[in-house]
Amino acid sequence: MDIAMKKAKELKITVSVAVVDDHGIVITTSKMDGAFYISSKYALAKAYTAANLMMPSGDIAPYAVEGKPYFGTTSAFGGELMVIAGGFPVKQSGKVIGAVGVGGSADVNQDVECAKAAVELLEKS
């Protein structure tokens, strides 16, 4: 999680970060000073989605439109799932062991950069 926040500082943004296990159960969360309150909810929803669907949260968007298999996903399960980029599964030996979600940047690509930095570190350990 520290690496995601370090990346955010490099990008001069403030974000929240969530780390969950393979079922989407919270391991830890953190919100940088100055990050919007709602950014924590975004981070958690992105991580939860990536863990439970075993794919990056943003990759689900094309399948969440009317006529596709994940249509209605964002309103299902009490709104816990999110199709905005910034959530990534963490894998070891090809198996999803958890996920990282980052939320809060005005540019979702920056959320992605921060989350990927954390995932890369976690997958090495």
The pLDDT of residue 59: 95
Domain limits for position 116: 2-124
The pLDDT of residue 16: 98
The pLDDT of residue 77: 74
pLDDT tens, 6-53?
A: 999 999 999 999 999 999 999 999 999 999 999 999 999 999 999 999
pLDDT tens, 41-99?
A: 999 999 999 999 999 999 998 988 899 887 887 777 777 889 999 999 999 999 999 99
Contact call for residues 47 and 24 (beta carbons, < 8 A): yes
Q: Token pair of 117, please?
A: 């930095």
Of the candidates 15, 86, 6, 9, the one whose C-alpha atom is nearest the C-alpha of residue 45 is 86
Into how many domains does the chain fold?
1
pTM, full prediction: 0.93
Contact call for residues 85 and 108 (beta carbons, < 8 A): yes
- DSSP-assigned letters across all residues of 24-57: --EEEEEE-TT--THHHHHHHHHHHHHHHHTS-G
Q: Where are the alpha helices (DSSP H) in 64-107?
A: none
What CATH number does residue 44 fall under? 3.30.450.150
